[in-house]
């Protein structure tokens, strides 16, 4: 049954489209990449969002757990400081009201009062009575020689006369120990005023800070309104030095800020301003200490996230690789099926064409052969024929041409049909010369130099003539396609060892890359684009292997290619 030409064209067009699209390695690579990107995004993005949310939530929670206790501690300590100062101020104020001016002017009485204060309360150093009108100290008890000293021009004296009370910043004093001064004013009904002033060492300040129970990496200290240390700092300076970090002013709540210190390290500063005097209690904690637990958890969280991401990527790459390979394999099998169908149609068409050609050509050839033979017999049996020799030569040429045409049609039929292996004893050199008969006209037309280096006394082998013809015809066709006009092709045969003979076909054509050489025997791989099917060398490879031999290829781009065929002397089929 004849195949509809239109249907055949559609099948061929479909096959070509499948070859151009489905067999493209780039297509599979892009498909695999897109699947991987999609799967990684669908898994990594939710994981990243979850990790980010947990990161911020835990950080906020941990920060709150760390900051709130510190704020509470700072606030309580500030109240302790304020209570201490208010208590001392109240004591001095009470003394100024419990005792008269005359009693306080009595040095013995004043000394007794100071002795009682030192015995019952911590920190009192001296006690002095100052005239409120001229600022002269009229009575003094203590370790210094301050009797008769005038304070009228000092700022604290002006402040106490205006406000009635005064608490100083820390000063070093005569003995170079830090002190503060507390002064209260007493007004008499007669308009006279006097001031009772005492100095207190700051040992109690240090005790209150030590009672906070801070760790070794943390620091606490008192600043005045100008940022001057009123107590020693373990990390940032001594009394009366300047604190290097600016503390925001205003407000009497407890605040926490993050600042870089002079060393470039981030620290958390918890601070609160006193109501009176204008002191500020500061607790400084390095951020690394505050978030030590958080940093450890963050490292663990990051490692878990990284390990999960790597595992996801590995699984995605593995799964997509398997999936795409299976799709590629399925496409390949489908393509092979289509190619096989195409091959069947080709062979079927060639077979019918060959049968028709053989029928149409062989019949006239038979007639020509019979007539030429008859003419030859007539000439031979006519001794008196004058042109006998000439006509005998012409008739012989006709008969020779008829035999040649018959050989060509038989070869065409032999290559068109699928042949089973038929082992016979044959001469490889003779077979190669026979195959060259198909290409001699093309070689002559293109002026291709075909050089034969056939080994003399080459052992005969047991193999299949028809299939070896197909092998060497495919290889010679490839060499003819690879060389330019006036190119060179060398055919060589030799005995490799006691069990094997070899043949090589070498050309000086365009050559192939290493990558092409690795794929050259794969089905449907072709470098001829639309002109090739990619089956020739694959079929050649299969035939050689089926006959028990081996095939090798060596090639360099722009230098040429050599195919080597190794065949057993005795058939193993």
Give me the CATH number covering residue 285: 3.30.450.20
Cα pseudo-dihedral 406, 410, 415, 417, rounded to 10? 140
Residue indicated by tokens 């249907």:
7
Residue 355 included in any domain: no
DSSP state string for 365-383: HHHHHHHHHHHHHHHHT-T
pLDDT for the residue 491: 94
Question: Is the residue at 317 inside a domain?
Answer: no
Q: Which residues of the chain have pLDDT under 50?
A: 1-15, 17-19, 21-22, 418-419
pLDDT of residue 224: 93
pTM (predicted TM-score): 0.48
CB 563 within 8 A of CB 475: yes
pLDDT digits (tens, 9 = 90+) for 65-81: 777 888 899 999 999 99
In a domain, 560, yes or no: yes
The C-alpha atoms of residue 120 and residue 376 are separated, in whole angstroms, by: 160
Q: What is the pLDDT of residue 478?
A: 87
Q: Alpha-carbon distance 507 to 450, whole Å?
A: 9
φ/ψ of 215, rounded to 5, equals -75, 170
Please count the structural domains in the chain.
2
Task: Choose one of 234, 258, 290: the last residue of a domain.
Answer: 290
Q: Is 218 helix (H, G, I), strand (E, B) or coil?
A: coil
| Structure tokens, 503 | 């043949």
Angle (CA) 77-82-83 rounded to 5° is 95
Q: Is residue 371 part of a domain?
A: no
In a shared domain, residues 109 and 258: yes
Between CA 155 and CA 153 the distance in angstroms is 7
Which of 229, 261, 290 is the C-terminal boundary of a domain?
Answer: 290
| CA–CA gap between residue 464 and residue 542 (Å, rounded) | 14
Residue 393 lies in a domain: no
Spatial separation of the C-alpha atoms in residues 178 and 559, rounded to whole Å: 97
In a domain, 182, yes or no: yes
> Which residue range is the domain that position 477 belongs to?
422-568
How far is it, in rounded angstroms, from Cα 93 to Cα 224?
Answer: 24
CA distance 222 to 239: 9
In a domain, residue 428? The reply is yes
Give the per-residue pLDDT at 307: 86
- Single out the residue in 290, 323, 349 at which a domain terminates: 290
Determine the pLDDT at residue 5: 46
pLDDT at 7: 44
Residue 63 burial by Cβ neighbours in a 10 Å radius (0-12, 13-18, 19+): middle
Q: How far apart are CA 561 and CA 261, in angstroms?
A: 75
In a domain, 399, yes or no: no
**Distances in whole angstroms, Cα of residue 330 to Cα of each of 22, 333, 500, 566:** 11, 5, 39, 34
CATH assignment of the domain containing 488: 3.30.565.10
How would you write 297-331 as a 3-class SS string?
HHHHHHHHHHHHHHHHHHHHHHHHHHHHHHHHHHH
Q: Would you call 186 exposed, middle or buried from its count of C-beta atoms within 10 A (0-12, 13-18, 19+)?
A: buried
């Amino acid at each position: 049954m004849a195949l509809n030409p239109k249907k055949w064209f559609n099948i061929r067009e479909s096959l070509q489209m499948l070859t151009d699209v489905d067999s493209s390695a780039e297509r599979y690579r892009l498909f695999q990449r897109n699947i991987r990107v999609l799967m990684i995004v669908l898994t990594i993005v939710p994981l990243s969002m979850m990790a980010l949310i947990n990161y911020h939530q835990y950080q906020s929670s941990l920060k709150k757990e760390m900051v709130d206790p510190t704020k509470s501690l700072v606030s309580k300590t500030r109240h302790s400081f304020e209570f201490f100062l208010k208590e001392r101020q109240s004591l001095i104020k009470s003394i100024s009201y419990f005792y008269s001016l005359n009693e306080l002017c009595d040095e013995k009485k004043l000394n007794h009062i100071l002795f009682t204060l030192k015995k019952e309360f911590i920190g009192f150093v001296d006690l002095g009575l100052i005239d409120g009108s001229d600022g002269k100290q009229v009575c003094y008890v203590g370790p210094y020689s301050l009797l008769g000293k005038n304070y009228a021009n000092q700022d604290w004296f002006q402040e106490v006369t205006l406000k009635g009370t005064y608490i100083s910043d820390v000063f070093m004093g005569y003995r170079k120990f830090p002190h503060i001064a507390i002064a209260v004013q007493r007004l008499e009904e007669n308009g006279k005023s006097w001031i009772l002033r005492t100095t207190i060492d700051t040992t109690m300040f240090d005790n209150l800070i030590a009672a906070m129970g801070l760790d070794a990496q943390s620091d606490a200290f008192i600043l005045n309104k100008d940022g001057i240390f009123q107590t020693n700092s373990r990390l940032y300076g001594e009394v009366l030095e300047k604190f290097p970090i600016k503390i925001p002013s205003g407000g009497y709540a407890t605040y926490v800020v993050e600042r870089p210190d002079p060393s470039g390290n981030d620290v958390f500063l918890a601070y609160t301003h006193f109501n009176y005097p204008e002191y500020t209690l500061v607790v400084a904690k390095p951020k690394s200490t505050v978030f030590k637990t958080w940093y450890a958890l963050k490292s663990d969280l990051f490692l878990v996230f990284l390990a999960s991401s790597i595992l996801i990527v590995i699984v995605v790459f593995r799964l997509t690789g398997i999936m795409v390979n299976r799709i590629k394999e399925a496409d390949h099998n489908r393509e092979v099926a289509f190619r096989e169908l195409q091959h069947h149609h080709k062979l079927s068409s060639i077979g019918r064409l060959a049968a028709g050609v053989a029928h149409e050509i062989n019949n006239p050839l038979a007639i020509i052969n019979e007539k030429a033979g008859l003419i030859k017999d007539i000439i031979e049996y006519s001794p008196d024929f004058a042109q006998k020799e000439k006509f005998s030569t012409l008739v012989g040429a006709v008969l020779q041409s008829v035999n040649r045409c018959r050989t060509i049609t038989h070869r065409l039929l032999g290559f068109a049909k699928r042949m089973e292996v038929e082992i016979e004893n044959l001469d490889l050199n003779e077979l190669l010369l026979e195959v060259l008969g198909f290409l001699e006209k093309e070689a002559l037309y293109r002026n291709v130099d075909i050089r034969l280096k056939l080994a003399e006394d080459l052992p005969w082998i047991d193999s299949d003539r028809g299939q070896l013809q197909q092998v060497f015809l495919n290889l010679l066709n490839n060499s003819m396609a690879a060389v330019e006009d006036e190119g060179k092709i060398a055919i060589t045969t030799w005995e490799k060892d006691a069990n094997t003979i070899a043949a090589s076909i070498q050309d000086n054509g365009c050559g192939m890359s290493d990558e092409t050489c690795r794929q050259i025997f794969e089905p449907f791989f072709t470098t001829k684009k639309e002109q090739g099917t990619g089956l020739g060398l694959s079929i050649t490879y299969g035939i050689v292997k089926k006959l028990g031999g081996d095939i090798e290829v060596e090639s360099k781009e722009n230098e040429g290619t050599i195919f080597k065929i190794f065949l057993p002397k005795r058939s193993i089929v």
